[in-house]
Amino acid sequence: MAGVSASEPTYAKSVPGASQGYAEWEAAGLRWLGEATAQGGARVVGVRDVAPDRLLLDRLTPAPPSVAAAEEFGAGLAATHLTGAPAWGAAPPGWEGEGWFGPASDPLPLEVGEWSTWGELYAVRLASLTRLAVDGGELTTAEAAEVDALGEHCAAGDFDTSDTPARIHGDLWSGNVMWTPDGVVLIDPAAHGGHREADLAMLDLFGAPHLDRVHAAYRDAAPLDDGWEERVGLHQLYPVLVHAVLFGGGYAGQAMRLVRALGS
Protein backbone atom coordinates (compact mmCIF):
# COMPACT_ATOMS: atom_id res chain seq x y z
CA MET A 1 0.00 0.00 0.00
CA ALA A 2 2.10 2.82 -1.32
CA GLY A 3 1.50 6.54 -1.64
CA VAL A 4 0.48 7.33 1.97
CA SER A 5 2.65 9.50 4.18
CA ALA A 6 3.71 7.89 7.44
CA SER A 7 2.65 11.10 9.21
CA GLU A 8 -0.97 10.85 8.07
CA PRO A 9 -3.34 9.13 10.54
CA THR A 10 -4.63 5.95 8.95
CA TYR A 11 -6.28 2.71 9.98
CA ALA A 12 -5.47 -0.61 8.33
CA LYS A 13 -8.54 -2.86 8.32
CA SER A 14 -7.43 -6.44 7.86
CA VAL A 15 -9.77 -8.89 6.12
CA PRO A 16 -7.68 -12.09 6.02
CA GLY A 17 -9.61 -15.02 4.69
CA ALA A 18 -12.53 -12.86 3.56
CA SER A 19 -14.32 -13.84 0.40
CA GLN A 20 -12.48 -12.87 -2.75
CA GLY A 21 -13.21 -9.28 -3.63
CA TYR A 22 -14.66 -8.30 -0.26
CA ALA A 23 -12.13 -5.53 0.40
CA GLU A 24 -12.60 -4.13 -3.10
CA TRP A 25 -16.39 -4.33 -2.70
CA GLU A 26 -16.30 -2.36 0.52
CA ALA A 27 -13.93 0.22 -0.96
CA ALA A 28 -16.17 0.68 -4.00
CA GLY A 29 -19.15 1.26 -1.73
CA LEU A 30 -17.31 3.77 0.44
CA ARG A 31 -16.18 5.77 -2.58
CA TRP A 32 -19.66 5.75 -4.12
CA LEU A 33 -21.26 6.92 -0.90
CA GLY A 34 -18.47 9.45 -0.49
CA GLU A 35 -19.34 11.06 -3.80
CA ALA A 36 -22.64 12.15 -2.24
CA THR A 37 -20.90 13.96 0.63
CA ALA A 38 -20.04 16.87 -1.66
CA GLN A 39 -23.78 17.22 -2.34
CA GLY A 40 -24.66 17.43 1.34
CA GLY A 41 -24.66 13.70 1.97
CA ALA A 42 -23.50 11.92 5.10
CA ARG A 43 -19.77 11.77 5.80
CA VAL A 44 -18.02 8.52 4.89
CA VAL A 45 -14.61 7.28 5.97
CA GLY A 46 -11.99 7.96 3.32
CA VAL A 47 -10.28 5.12 1.45
CA ARG A 48 -6.54 5.57 1.03
CA ASP A 49 -5.71 2.24 -0.56
CA VAL A 50 -7.04 -1.27 -0.97
CA ALA A 51 -5.47 -4.72 -1.29
CA PRO A 52 -7.09 -8.18 -1.43
CA ASP A 53 -6.66 -8.72 2.31
CA ARG A 54 -6.98 -5.23 3.78
CA LEU A 55 -8.16 -1.65 3.43
CA LEU A 56 -6.24 1.46 4.39
CA LEU A 57 -8.70 4.03 5.70
CA ASP A 58 -8.65 7.44 7.35
CA ARG A 59 -8.31 7.02 11.09
CA LEU A 60 -11.37 8.25 13.00
CA THR A 61 -11.28 9.86 16.44
CA PRO A 62 -14.29 8.91 18.58
CA ALA A 63 -16.44 11.49 20.31
CA PRO A 64 -19.62 11.32 22.42
CA PRO A 65 -22.87 11.26 20.42
CA SER A 66 -24.71 14.59 20.39
CA VAL A 67 -28.14 15.79 19.34
CA ALA A 68 -26.60 18.25 16.86
CA ALA A 69 -24.55 15.51 15.21
CA ALA A 70 -27.59 13.22 15.09
CA GLU A 71 -29.70 15.84 13.34
CA GLU A 72 -26.93 16.64 10.88
CA PHE A 73 -26.57 12.92 10.19
CA GLY A 74 -30.30 12.47 9.58
CA ALA A 75 -30.36 15.27 7.03
CA GLY A 76 -27.12 14.05 5.45
CA LEU A 77 -28.38 10.49 5.13
CA ALA A 78 -31.46 11.80 3.32
CA ALA A 79 -29.20 13.70 0.91
CA THR A 80 -27.10 10.59 0.29
CA HIS A 81 -30.19 8.56 -0.51
CA LEU A 82 -31.54 11.21 -2.86
CA THR A 83 -28.40 11.19 -5.00
CA GLY A 84 -29.91 7.96 -6.26
CA ALA A 85 -28.77 4.83 -8.05
CA PRO A 86 -29.25 3.66 -11.64
CA ALA A 87 -31.48 0.69 -10.75
CA TRP A 88 -32.86 -1.40 -7.92
CA GLY A 89 -30.00 -3.64 -6.87
CA ALA A 90 -27.34 -1.64 -8.72
CA ALA A 91 -23.80 -2.12 -7.45
CA PRO A 92 -21.38 0.80 -7.07
CA PRO A 93 -20.11 2.01 -10.45
CA GLY A 94 -17.55 -0.29 -12.03
CA TRP A 95 -18.26 -3.21 -9.70
CA GLU A 96 -18.75 -6.59 -11.36
CA GLY A 97 -19.92 -9.80 -9.80
CA GLU A 98 -21.91 -10.38 -6.63
CA GLY A 99 -21.72 -8.15 -3.61
CA TRP A 100 -21.29 -9.08 0.04
CA PHE A 101 -23.28 -8.51 3.22
CA GLY A 102 -22.25 -9.25 6.77
CA PRO A 103 -19.01 -9.45 8.74
CA ALA A 104 -15.77 -9.48 6.77
CA SER A 105 -14.82 -12.74 8.47
CA ASP A 106 -17.86 -14.57 7.11
CA PRO A 107 -19.91 -12.49 4.63
CA LEU A 108 -22.87 -13.79 2.66
CA PRO A 109 -23.35 -13.12 -1.05
CA LEU A 110 -25.55 -10.10 -1.82
CA GLU A 111 -27.36 -10.21 -5.14
CA VAL A 112 -26.69 -7.09 -7.20
CA GLY A 113 -27.75 -6.21 -10.72
CA GLU A 114 -30.83 -4.53 -12.14
CA TRP A 115 -34.44 -5.22 -11.17
CA SER A 116 -37.48 -3.29 -12.34
CA THR A 117 -39.00 -2.94 -8.85
CA TRP A 118 -37.82 -3.04 -5.28
CA GLY A 119 -40.22 -5.90 -4.51
CA GLU A 120 -38.71 -8.11 -7.20
CA LEU A 121 -35.22 -7.49 -5.85
CA TYR A 122 -36.25 -8.18 -2.27
CA ALA A 123 -38.03 -11.41 -3.21
CA VAL A 124 -34.82 -12.71 -4.81
CA ARG A 125 -32.78 -11.87 -1.74
CA LEU A 126 -35.26 -13.40 0.69
CA ALA A 127 -35.40 -16.61 -1.37
CA SER A 128 -31.62 -16.90 -1.33
CA LEU A 129 -31.43 -16.48 2.44
CA THR A 130 -34.32 -18.88 3.02
CA ARG A 131 -32.49 -21.64 1.14
CA LEU A 132 -29.37 -21.06 3.23
CA ALA A 133 -31.40 -21.09 6.45
CA VAL A 134 -33.09 -24.37 5.54
CA ASP A 135 -29.78 -25.96 4.53
CA GLY A 136 -28.26 -24.87 7.85
CA GLY A 137 -31.21 -26.10 9.90
CA GLU A 138 -32.24 -22.63 11.13
CA LEU A 139 -35.64 -22.76 9.37
CA THR A 140 -37.95 -25.68 8.73
CA THR A 141 -39.39 -26.24 5.27
CA ALA A 142 -42.77 -25.06 6.58
CA GLU A 143 -41.25 -21.84 7.91
CA ALA A 144 -39.41 -21.35 4.63
CA ALA A 145 -42.73 -21.63 2.80
CA GLU A 146 -44.07 -18.75 4.91
CA VAL A 147 -41.09 -16.59 3.96
CA ASP A 148 -41.51 -17.58 0.32
CA ALA A 149 -45.17 -16.55 0.44
CA LEU A 150 -44.15 -13.14 1.75
CA GLY A 151 -41.58 -12.92 -1.03
CA GLU A 152 -44.33 -13.54 -3.56
CA HIS A 153 -46.26 -10.58 -2.16
CA CYS A 154 -43.10 -8.47 -2.47
CA ALA A 155 -42.53 -9.54 -6.06
CA ALA A 156 -46.15 -8.70 -6.86
CA GLY A 157 -45.53 -5.12 -5.70
CA ASP A 158 -47.69 -5.28 -2.58
CA PHE A 159 -45.11 -3.36 -0.56
CA ASP A 160 -43.67 -1.06 -3.23
CA THR A 161 -43.82 2.68 -2.63
CA SER A 162 -43.37 5.76 -4.79
CA ASP A 163 -39.61 5.67 -4.12
CA THR A 164 -37.02 5.40 -6.85
CA PRO A 165 -33.72 3.54 -6.24
CA ALA A 166 -31.71 5.24 -3.50
CA ARG A 167 -27.98 5.20 -2.88
CA ILE A 168 -28.03 3.32 0.42
CA HIS A 169 -25.36 2.24 2.88
CA GLY A 170 -26.96 -1.19 3.02
CA ASP A 171 -25.67 -2.32 6.44
CA LEU A 172 -26.50 0.68 8.59
CA TRP A 173 -26.54 -0.75 12.09
CA SER A 174 -25.22 1.41 14.92
CA GLY A 175 -21.76 -0.22 14.85
CA ASN A 176 -21.22 1.28 11.40
CA VAL A 177 -22.15 4.78 12.57
CA MET A 178 -19.04 6.39 14.04
CA TRP A 179 -19.43 9.50 16.21
CA THR A 180 -16.44 11.83 15.80
CA PRO A 181 -15.62 15.47 16.69
CA ASP A 182 -16.70 16.38 13.14
CA GLY A 183 -20.00 14.51 13.38
CA VAL A 184 -21.13 11.08 12.23
CA VAL A 185 -18.92 9.18 9.78
CA LEU A 186 -20.13 5.98 8.11
CA ILE A 187 -18.02 2.83 7.76
CA ASP A 188 -18.36 -0.77 6.50
CA PRO A 189 -21.13 -0.46 3.89
CA ALA A 190 -22.85 -2.94 1.61
CA ALA A 191 -23.75 -0.06 -0.70
CA HIS A 192 -26.15 -0.57 -3.58
CA GLY A 193 -29.30 0.81 -5.17
CA GLY A 194 -31.94 0.01 -2.59
CA HIS A 195 -34.89 1.30 -0.63
CA ARG A 196 -34.07 4.20 1.65
CA GLU A 197 -36.41 2.81 4.31
CA ALA A 198 -33.99 -0.14 4.62
CA ASP A 199 -31.21 2.02 6.09
CA LEU A 200 -33.60 3.58 8.58
CA ALA A 201 -35.03 0.20 9.57
CA MET A 202 -31.52 -1.17 10.10
CA LEU A 203 -30.75 1.69 12.47
CA ASP A 204 -33.91 0.82 14.39
CA LEU A 205 -33.07 -2.89 14.56
CA PHE A 206 -30.26 -2.62 17.10
CA GLY A 207 -30.82 0.96 18.24
CA ALA A 208 -28.60 4.04 17.98
CA PRO A 209 -27.98 7.18 20.04
CA HIS A 210 -30.51 9.99 19.54
CA LEU A 211 -32.37 7.88 17.01
CA ASP A 212 -35.54 9.93 17.31
CA ARG A 213 -33.62 13.04 16.29
CA VAL A 214 -31.99 11.23 13.37
CA HIS A 215 -35.43 10.15 12.15
CA ALA A 216 -36.98 13.58 12.60
CA ALA A 217 -34.20 15.35 10.71
CA TYR A 218 -34.35 12.72 7.97
CA ARG A 219 -38.09 13.06 7.46
CA ASP A 220 -37.87 16.85 7.50
CA ALA A 221 -35.38 16.64 4.64
CA ALA A 222 -37.04 13.77 2.74
CA PRO A 223 -40.52 12.70 3.90
CA LEU A 224 -41.35 9.00 3.70
CA ASP A 225 -44.42 7.50 2.06
CA ASP A 226 -47.43 6.89 4.28
CA GLY A 227 -47.31 3.57 6.14
CA TRP A 228 -43.54 3.52 6.55
CA GLU A 229 -43.93 2.49 10.21
CA GLU A 230 -45.69 -0.72 9.11
CA ARG A 231 -42.85 -1.51 6.68
CA VAL A 232 -40.04 -1.31 9.23
CA GLY A 233 -40.30 -5.02 10.05
CA LEU A 234 -40.29 -5.90 6.36
CA HIS A 235 -36.97 -4.16 5.82
CA GLN A 236 -35.55 -5.66 9.02
CA LEU A 237 -36.35 -9.17 7.87
CA TYR A 238 -33.33 -9.43 5.57
CA PRO A 239 -30.67 -8.59 8.19
CA VAL A 240 -32.42 -10.75 10.79
CA LEU A 241 -32.38 -13.71 8.39
CA VAL A 242 -28.69 -13.04 7.75
CA HIS A 243 -28.10 -13.22 11.50
CA ALA A 244 -30.08 -16.47 11.64
CA VAL A 245 -27.89 -18.02 8.93
CA LEU A 246 -24.62 -16.80 10.45
CA PHE A 247 -25.29 -17.03 14.18
CA GLY A 248 -28.39 -19.16 14.75
CA GLY A 249 -29.74 -18.64 18.25
CA GLY A 250 -33.02 -16.78 18.51
CA TYR A 251 -32.72 -14.93 15.21
CA ALA A 252 -34.76 -17.48 13.27
CA GLY A 253 -37.64 -17.07 15.72
CA GLN A 254 -37.34 -13.29 15.43
CA ALA A 255 -37.47 -13.58 11.64
CA MET A 256 -40.61 -15.68 11.74
CA ARG A 257 -42.30 -13.23 14.10
CA LEU A 258 -41.60 -10.48 11.57
CA VAL A 259 -42.99 -12.62 8.73
CA ARG A 260 -46.19 -13.45 10.61
CA ALA A 261 -46.72 -9.86 11.72
CA LEU A 262 -46.53 -8.74 8.10
CA GLY A 263 -49.09 -11.36 7.10
CA SER A 264 -51.55 -10.56 9.88
Q: Which residues are tagged catalytic?
A: 171
Q: What is the 3-state secondary structure (H, E, C) of the chain?
A: CCCCCCCCCEEEEECCCCCCCHHHHHHHHHHHHHHHHCCCCCEECCEEEEECCEEEEECCCCCCCCHHHHHHHHHHHHHHHHCCCCCECCCCCCCCCCEEECCCCCCEEECCCCECCHHHHHHHHHHHHHHHHHHCCCCCHHHHHHHHHHHHHHHCCCCCCCCCCEEECCCCCHHHEEEECCEEEECCCCCEEECHHHHHHHHHHHCCCCHHHHHHHHHHHCCCCCCHHHHHHHHHHHHHHHHHHHHCCCHHHHHHHHHHHHHC
> Contact 76/40 with Cβ under 8 angstroms?
yes
> Contact 92/3 with Cβ under 8 angstroms?
no
* Cα–Cα nearest to 143, from 240, 259, 261, 231: 259
